[in-house]
Amino acid sequence: MPKPLRISPIALDPTNRKVLKVAVDLINDDGIASLLLPDNSPHGHLLVIDADNDIGRQVLEESRDGQVKLVLSEKRLEGKNLIWQEPPVRVTDMQELLTRICLRMKATFATQKAMDTPADNHKSAAVPASTESGKTESTQTTAVPSANTATPEDIQEPATPSKSLFHILLCARQQKACYQIRFDTTWLLIGGHNGTVASKNEADAKTIMMAPFKKLYIEQIDIVAFAKNAQEMNISTLDRLLWQAGVDFSDGRLLEGHDMAQPVRLKAWPNFTRNGFRQSHFKLAAIMARQPISLKELRKEADVARDEVVSFYNAAYAVGLIDRTATASDPGLQNGKPRTRRKSLLGMLARKLGFR
* Average pLDDT value for residue range 336-349: 46
User: Is the separation of the CB atoms in 188 and 204 below 8 Å?
Assistant: yes
In this prediction, residue 325 carries a pLDDT of: 86
Least confident residue range of 27-31, 57-61, 324-328: 324-328
Does residue 323 sit in the same domain as residue 269?
Answer: yes
* Whether residue 141 has pLDDT greater than 80: no
The pLDDT-based confidence of 347 (bands split at 50, 70, 90) is low
How many other CB atoms are found less than 10 A from the CB of residue 330? 15
What is the C-alpha separation between 319 and 169, in angstroms, rounded?
Answer: 11
User: Is the separation of the CB atoms in 115 and 78 below 8 Å?
Assistant: no
Cis amide leading into 145 (omega within 30): no
* Whether residue 155 has pLDDT greater than 50: no
The answer to whether the predicted template modeling score (pTM) of the entire model surpasses 0.75 is: no
Is 182 inside any structural domain? yes
Contacts for 226-231 with beta carbons within 8 Å, 24 or more apart? 226/178, 226/189, 226/191, 226/193, 226/198, 229/180, 229/189, 229/198, 230/189, 230/191, 230/196, 230/198
Does residue 168 sit in the same domain as residue 285?
Answer: no
* Backbone angles phi and psi of 291, in degrees to 5: -165, 155
Is 300 inside any structural domain? yes
Is 259 inside any structural domain? yes
Does residue 173 sit in the same domain as residue 65?
Answer: no
What's the gap between Cα 4 and its chain centre?
A: 23
Is 123 inside any structural domain? yes
CA nearest to 310, candidates 255, 349, 233: 255
Is 155 inside any structural domain? no
In this prediction, residue 294 carries a pLDDT of: 93
What is the C-alpha separation between 102 and 83, in angstroms, rounded?
Answer: 12
Torsion (CA) 311, 313, 315, 321 in degrees, nearest 10: 170
What is the C-alpha separation between 324 and 267, in angstroms, rounded?
Answer: 10
Q: Could you tell me what percent of the chain has a pLDDT over 70?
A: 75
User: Rounded to the nearest 10 degrees, what angle do helices 165-175 and 91-114 cross at?
Assistant: 100
Domain span including residue 306: 255-330
Does residue 112 sit in the same domain as residue 237?
Answer: no
* Whether residue 317 has pLDDT greater than 90: yes
Is 203 inside any structural domain? yes
Residue scoring higher pLDDT (336 or 158): 336
pLDDT digits (tens, 9 = 90+) for 32-44: 888 898 888 877 8
Is 335 inside any structural domain? no
Does residue 114 sit in the same domain as residue 11?
Answer: yes
In this prediction, residue 115 carries a pLDDT of: 56
Is 42 inside any structural domain? yes
For all residues of the chain together, what is the average pLDDT?
78
* Whether residue 336 has pLDDT greater than 50: no
Does residue 112 sit in the same domain as residue 54?
Answer: yes
In this prediction, residue 307 carries a pLDDT of: 87
The one-letter amino acid code at 200 reads K
Domain boundary among 138, 173, 192: 138
CATH code, domain with 16: 3.40.50.2300
One-letter-per-residue 3-state SS of the chain: CCCCEEEEEECCCHHHHHHHHHHHHHHHHCCCCEEECCCCCCCCCEEEEECCCHHHHHHHHHCCCCCEEEEECCCCCCCCCEEEECCCCCHHHHHHHHHHHHHHHHHHHHHHHHCCCCCECCECCEEEECCCECCCCCCEEEECCCCCCCCCCCCCCCCCHHHCHHHHHHHHHHHCCEEEEEECCEEEEEECCCCEEEECCCCHHHHHHHCCHHHCEEEEECHHHHHHHCCCCEEEEHHHHHHHHHHHHCCCCCCCCCCCCCEEEECCCCCHHHHCCCHHHHHHHHHHHHCCEEHHHHHHHHCCCHHHHHHHHHHHHHCCCEECCCCCCCCCEECCEEHHHHHHHHHHHHHHCCCC
Domain boundary among 217, 248, 279: 248
**How many domains does the chain divide into?**
3
Does residue 208 sit in the same domain as residue 107?
Answer: no
Q: Give the contacts of 299 (CB within 8 A, at least 6 positions apart).
A: 305, 306, 309
pLDDT digits (tens, 9 = 90+) for 233-267: 999 999 999 999 998 888 788 888 888 999 999 99
CA nearest to 23, candidates 173, 272, 196, 12: 12
* Whether residue 84 has pLDDT greater than 80: yes
Does residue 47 sit in the same domain as residue 122?
Answer: yes
In this prediction, residue 113 carries a pLDDT of: 61
Does residue 133 sit in the same domain as residue 22?
Answer: yes
Does residue 127 sit in the same domain as residue 13?
Answer: yes
Does residue 101 sit in the same domain as residue 30?
Answer: yes
CATH code, domain with 308: 1.10.10.10
The one-letter amino acid code at 174 reads Q
Does residue 13 sit in the same domain as residue 130?
Answer: yes
Residue scoring higher pLDDT (221 or 164): 221
pLDDT digits (tens, 9 = 90+) for 106-134: 777 766 665 544 444 433 333 333 333 44
